[in-house]
Amino acid sequence: MKICEAEWKEAGEMSETWNPWHGCKRISSGCLSCPVYQKDYRYGRNPSLVFRTKAFDLPVQKNRTHTFRLSPEDHLVKTCTTSDFFIEEADAWRSEAWRYIHSRPDLDFLIITKRPERIAQALPSDWDDGYENVSIGVSVESQYNADRRIRLLLSLPVRKLSVAVEPMLGPVHLSRYLATGKIDSVSCGGESGPYARICDFAWVLDLMLECVRYGVPFRYTQTGGRLKKGDQIYNIGEEYQITQAEKAGINFGEVIAV
């Protein structure tokens, strides 16, 4: 059974989501309005309880015709979107997950984390300078966490690197990191949910211009629930946040979908 599917126009490809485990623990201000927490609370679940899911072996699952459920046409596999791939509670399961990833060189796996300090100790023994089919990125919400997490990411042996400034809670400048030539793509977006904090469109434009200056693909993923443009603050429903970001027309190049 497929978990979910969406077409990313900027990337020109299809994507799948693979959640080998579920549940996470808040570690910074960007986690305050976590959609996973909001959804789990709605259904009476404890979102901080990390558990292995039924989809744990999805990359190697086959259907009745004995073909993989995740086919090469799915291209990008967004990995661990309802948890953090490098969370400590998943240490016992991660080696097996890496084996599944390595066994599917026909798929590209995207991993976004807020825990880059745990990556080095959690890489598989045959990692060397990285798997060809794995992109690792960090999620940052502020300049403080951008400086801390991106520096750690750049120090690691990873072939494809990305940065997601989401939720964007203040101005974030990445020029010093983009200048290294090691970052493959950047995305940013505002915060959603009933308690969304303001995202200023001026911050988004500044970040986009930095990416253009260094030739790094940029994608504006969503406006967030409260968008400031000039002196006005707009309350935007969740059903419009992605389409309104697309209408801004400020995406640049082809970005690894996030």
Q: How many CB atoms lie within 10 A of CB 233?
A: 11
Distance of CA 110 to the CA centre of its chain: 7
Q: Where are the domains of the chain?
A: 5-247
* Higher-scoring residue by pLDDT: 256, 68: 68
Mean pLDDT of all residues in 198-216: 98
Which backbone phi and psi does 113 adopt, to 5 degrees? -135, 155
178-184 average pLDDT score: 97
Cα–Cα distance measured from residue 18 to residue 34, given in angstroms and rounded to the nearest whole number:
18
Check: CB of residue 20 under 8 Å from CB of residue 55: yes
Q: Is the pLDDT of residue 84 over 90?
A: yes
- Nearest to 49, CA basis, from 87, 11, 12, 79: 87
Distance from C-alpha of 30 to C-alpha of 69, rounded to nearest angstrom: 33
Residue with tokens 């990411």: 153
**5-247 CATH:** 3.20.20
Rounded distance, CA 55 to CA 233, Å?
41
Is it the case that residue 75 has pLDDT exceeding 80?
A: no
Distance CA 233, CA 226 (A): 6
Mean pLDDT of the region 218-223: 98
- Per-residue pLDDT, 257: 58
Cis peptide before 167 (omega within 30 of 0): yes
If we measure between CA atoms, which residue out of 159, 235, 163 comes closest to residue 199? 235
In tens, the pLDDT along 230-243 reads 999 999 999 999 99
Percent of the chain with pLDDT over 90: 90
